[in-house]
Chains A and B, each alone.
Chain A
């Protein structure tokens, strides 16, 4: 068997100067070599590893036959956002983790092949079928146009429902637009995939803050028969330590929204500014922390450091992104937790007082719990801090609906089978239910909800 093909990346010294894509995708030649590595298992495990059940061996076989159009159609039977998933899914923990080729050697590069097929379609301007089919006279509202909402809306539209997707921001895509940076997920790609969802018949209404502009009760009154709430984990957490409101201390959400959604990296050509210094610290070690660190580097920071209370082994970010960050010169300060932010005379952050940690027994996340070492306090320089320690569920809809049953963290409780909340006809999925998780898990939830909503509406 030939070797697993490696997707080419732009050179670190070149890519840190701009916001263009880091990973360039397979060439056709590479895709064909990689597709030939798939052994077409009779009982493939990869499909079970995919939260949206893509028929992986089938689409890879079609790539092998150079029938790329059929390959992307095969993927789109299950996944409406393949160019996005091909870029940001943690395949190493899903389909590729269980790939049988990987049992004895290196797994097939399924994610890169998915991206290849999706990019082929976008590049050759293949118009995915525009559906002009008649719609059922049944209206479904989807609230939030992130990965869960888009997937659910697309699937319901395929079933014939009249779907309206409500988005609170001025553009649809949720975290795909405001969160994940351009160099990892180009916004053109996101918008092209949203175009596909629209072509399926989904109508999108932006600038609609459900819970404020319109309540869920009003949606029912307007004739919607079911509602899917996918408003995400939008509320940034702060460490709750002295000085956290100093200037130039940003939540990762604010920092990334300014740069990705509002295009502050093109200021003053675009109106939204971002104010950063030269020594940037990102706190946390998930994908969001790494995205923030790498964005800061591209904005011209001299030094960017990830401060994390555990070690590299426990980092929740994708290995690929950790490697990319290292190559780009991002520094790590591990087993370190901030305890106080120190200001300059104008109220800007100047330094962080930290404490050394050591790892104790595993906690509920099955990672070893970090414990502060007494008397190990020390100070590091930081004139900009990006806090990426997690997000809580967005409280707008729960606030507006006192009857909705919530979990301890403020997440919406649903029946795991029916995806229905404590209120009949209202379903929920994605980060608003699970807390911050991956794009593909949210898409899996959206998919499951679409099936559940269909079942509910048929039996109603």
Chain B
């Protein structure tokens, strides 16, 4: 709001290169539903970036975001001291996850996507579903929210690329074993594009409804610019207002993957 700043209550490193930040924004905390995101801008010269809301508290009037420090904006965000403020925060945006009783749900989270998976897992659990969580990270020290997810999961499986924790291997190996054995009503995947694509390909022959939550580039986040457009079932959709969740069996992941690389060279300039 004009002349309103958004104060950070806490900003801690929770894994290597990953921060968790709590921000005072009562009007967003009051409205947010699982699967929604905010657009934020750190300072006057800053870029607007989307971040999924990982948690919220109506009592404290706060929302929580979890982010990996990968670019200029997340670096700035990571450097904000507790009690200091960010300039702009708008939300909650995007369509919320459709929460109902499906039966058995497998949630697959990769990397920092695990943070975005948490509120969805919590909401599905609250609706009486049986939750199987599969978390995949490169190595143990990148794992986040393990305890929180254990609380809302009936079963949990952790994989690491290097075998430093849980099972060595990929999330898809675990997912493949489960869906071969038992009836699964819904698969929800969030993480790197390559992971979401692999999950969707794996569930396709089993005809298991698979939802993916996309991390497209956005500028306004309100349907105005089309930067986040993605091909779903051969039609252009806007991740910000039509998504961010889509049917994984209909998303053109290869196109999405290319679109995410549009600014890579310029990001290097910005970071230098």
Cβ contact within 8 Å between B88 and A247: no
Interface residue B28 (Cβ < 8 Å from any Cβ of A): yes
On chain B, the residues within 8 Å of A240 by CB distance are 236
Q: How far is the CA of A209 from the CA of B241 in the complex (A)?
A: 12
A275 is an interface residue with CB less than 8 A from chain B: yes
Contact A254 B226 (CB under 8 A): yes
Answer whether residue A262 sits at the interface, using C-beta atoms and an 8 A cutoff. yes
Digit string of A229-253 for contact with B (CB within 8 Å is 1, else 0)? 0000011101010001101101101
Chain B minimum-CB-distance residue to A215: B31
Total residues of chain A contacting the partner, CB 8 A: 46
A206 contacts B88, C-beta separation under 8 Å: yes
Contact A213-B227, Cβ < 8 Å, known A172-B2, A257-B219: no
Mark each residue of chain A from 317 to 346: 1 if its CB lies under 8 Å from any CB of chain B, else 0. 000000000000000000000000000001
Bound-complex Cα distance A347 to B264 (A): 14
- A273: chain B residues within 8 A (beta carbon): 263, 266-267, 269-270
Interface of A is mostly: loop
Bound-state Cα–Cα, A245 to B269, Å: 25
**CB of B9 within 8 A of chain A?**
no
Per the bound structure, the CA–CA distance linking A245 and B260 in Å amounts to 12
Query: When each residue 199-210 of chain A gets 1 if its CB lies under 8 Å from chain B and 0 otherwise, what string results?
Result: 000011111110
B230 interface contact, C-beta 8 A: yes
B89 at the interface (CB under 8 A from A): yes
Residues 88 to 128 of chain B near chain A (Cβ within 8 Å): 88-93
Q: Which residue of chain A has the shortest Cβ distance to B6 in the bound complex?
A: A207
Contact between B45 and A234, CB atoms less than 8 A apart: no
In the bound assembly, the distance between CA atoms of A263 and B220 in angstroms comes to 14
User: In B213-231, which residues have CB < 8 Å from any A CB?
Assistant: 219-220, 222-227, 229-231
The contact of A245 among B47, B48, B88, B259, by CB within 8 Å, is B259
Q: Is A251's CB under 8 angstroms from B225's CB?
A: yes
Interface flags, B227-251, vs A, CB<8A=1, else 0: 1011100001000010000000000
Q: Point out the residue from A168, A203, A213, A395 that lies within 8 Å of B28, measured CB to CB.
A: A213
Q: How far is the CA of A238 from the CA of B224 in the complex (A)?
A: 12
Q: Give the total of B residues in contact with A, Cβ under 8 Å.
A: 44
Question: Most A CB atoms within 10 A — which of B91, B219, B227?
Answer: B219
B258, A236: Cβ atoms closer than 8 Å: no
Could you say which residues of chain A place their CB within 8 Å of the CB of B220? 168-169, 178, 257
Question: Closest chain A residue to B230 by CB distance?
Answer: A245
B167 at the A interface (CB under 8 A) = no
Contact with A along B18-52 (1 / 0, CB 8 A): 00000000011001000000000100011110000
Query: CA A203 – CA B4 in complex, angstroms?
Result: 12
- Residues from 66 to 108 in B contacting A, C-beta threshold 8 Å: 72-73, 87-93
B270 in complex: contacting residue of A172, A257, A268, CB < 8 Å: A268
Partner of A253, one of B48, B225, B267: B225
A378: Cβ under 8 A from any B Cβ: no
Q: For the complex, is A417 an interface residue (Cβ under 8 Å from B)? A: no
Q: Could you list 8 further interchain pairs (A-B, Cβ under 8 angstroms) beyond the known A267-B270, A272-B48?
A: A170-B90, A172-B2, A206-B1, A212-B222, A213-B92, A262-B219, A272-B219, A275-B263
A-B contact pairs, 28 of them (CB 8 A): A168-B222, A178-B220, A205-B1, A206-B1, A206-B2, A207-B1, A209-B91, A213-B91, A235-B223, A236-B224, A236-B225, A236-B226, A248-B262, A250-B227, A251-B225, A251-B226, A253-B224, A254-B227, A258-B219, A262-B47, A262-B219, A267-B269, A269-B45, A270-B45, A273-B267, A346-B258, A394-B222, A395-B223
Query: B residues bordering A, Cβ < 8 Å?
Result: 1-2, 4, 27-28, 31, 41, 45-48, 72-73, 87-93, 219-220, 222-227, 229-231, 236, 241, 255, 258-259, 261-263, 265-267, 269-270
